[in-house]
Structure 1
Amino acid sequence: MVEHTVFTLSQVTQHKSKKDCWLVIDGRVLNVTKFLEDHPGGEEVLLESAGKDATQEFKDIGHSNSAKNLLLKHQVGVLQGYTFKNDADVQVASTEEPTKKEMSAFVIKDDRMPKYAALVEFFVPLVVAGSYFSYRYLTTGSSMV
């Protein structure tokens, strides 16, 4: 195993500003200062967890494998007294910075609308408007005769 610098939680709590932001996830001490602007959830999310153990918050969100790989990139050490479990879920593809900054995401859209419903939404207002203008035309035209 690779040797890391060991930090206590009290040492990590000294790094909780926008210019010096550290946090702990799964026993890894992370310096996320440079990542604040790039975090998809906004820098406020990281600043709320600065200087703390943010493992539970990280797991509650359900981060992707690429997010888990970023942990290793920002790791500056380990938390004192933490025993590492099997890290099979963290697979490091590359620790190099990608040449092009991209964000990938997918959206699950649950509100599938049948095709006929789209047609109804389009034609019903046309029929109503046509009926209204026909009525107006017929009623104003007959009173002038």
Structure 2
Amino acid sequence: MAEHTVFTLPQVAQHKSKNDCWLVIHGRVLNVTKFLEEHPGGEDVLLESAGKDASKEFNDIGHSKTAKNLVFKYQVGVVQGYTSNNNEYVQVAATEEPIKRETSAFVIRDERRPKYDGLLEFIVPLLAAASYFCYRYLTRSS
């Protein structure tokens, strides 16, 4: 793995404008200036964290693996004195574009049912209720 430039937090704090936006995520110094317009949450989210450690905010959002791998694309260095946790994500070597999978949560399935199914679902409970009330009427004590 290539060696990265080591920055201090005060050095990173100098880069907190729209034209020069750096932040720290898990000890990695990121230059996200070119990513500001592409960020799905808008550039304001990144500008709020500019120049400081945004690891907590990054974790709280629950980013996808693709988003976590973008960290490596924009990394320009590491923060001095940072120690990593074993829980951190690791870079996944991607040799090709990720496969885009559609979610089935919003797919409406067109399952064909016989036309009389709806009628049976209505009539069977109606007949059961009518039978119960007839039984109660005929067996009540006079």
Q: TM-score range by the shorter chain?
A: 0.5 to 0.7
Does residue 69 (structure 1) correspond to residue 69 (structure 2)? The answer is yes
Following TM superposition, by how much is the alpha carbon of 1:3 offset from its aligned partner in structure 2, in angstroms? 1.2
Q: For residue 61 of structure 2, what is the amino acid of its counterpart?
A: I
Residue matched to 1:25: 25
Aligned-partner Cα distance in 1 for 2:48–2:21: 10
Number of aligned residues: 104
Q: Are residues 1:39 and 2:39 paired?
A: yes
- Code of the aligned partner of 2:50: A
Higher-Rg member (1/2): 2
In structure 2, do the counterparts of structure 1 residues 34 and 82 end up closer, same or farther at CA, with 3 Å as the change threshold? same
Determine the structure 2 residue equivalent to 1:138: none
AA of the residue aligned to 1:80: Q
Alignment map for 1:1-145 (pairs within 5 Å): 1-86=1-86, 89-94=89-94
The runs of 5 or more residues in structure 1 that have no matched partner are 110-145
Letter in 2 for 1:77: G
Q: Is the Cα–Cα contact under 8 Å of residues 65 and 91 in structure 1 kept in the other structure?
A: no
C-alpha change, 1:53 and 1:41, in structure 2 (3 Å) is same
Distance change in 2, residues 1:6/1:37 (3 Å): same
2:33 alignment partner, SS class: coil
Runs of 4+ aligned structure 1 residues displaced above 2 Å come to 84-96, 103-109
Partners of 1:59 and 1:12 in 2: CA distance: 20
Distance 1:89 1:17 in 2: 28
| Equivalent residues of 2:8, 2:80 under 8 A apart | yes
List runs of 5+ in structure 2 lacking aligned partners: 107-142
Secondary structure of 1:34's partner? helix
Tell me the TM-score normalised to structure 1 length.
Answer: 0.63
SS of 1:6's equivalent in the other structure is strand
| TM-score, with structure 2 as normaliser | 0.64
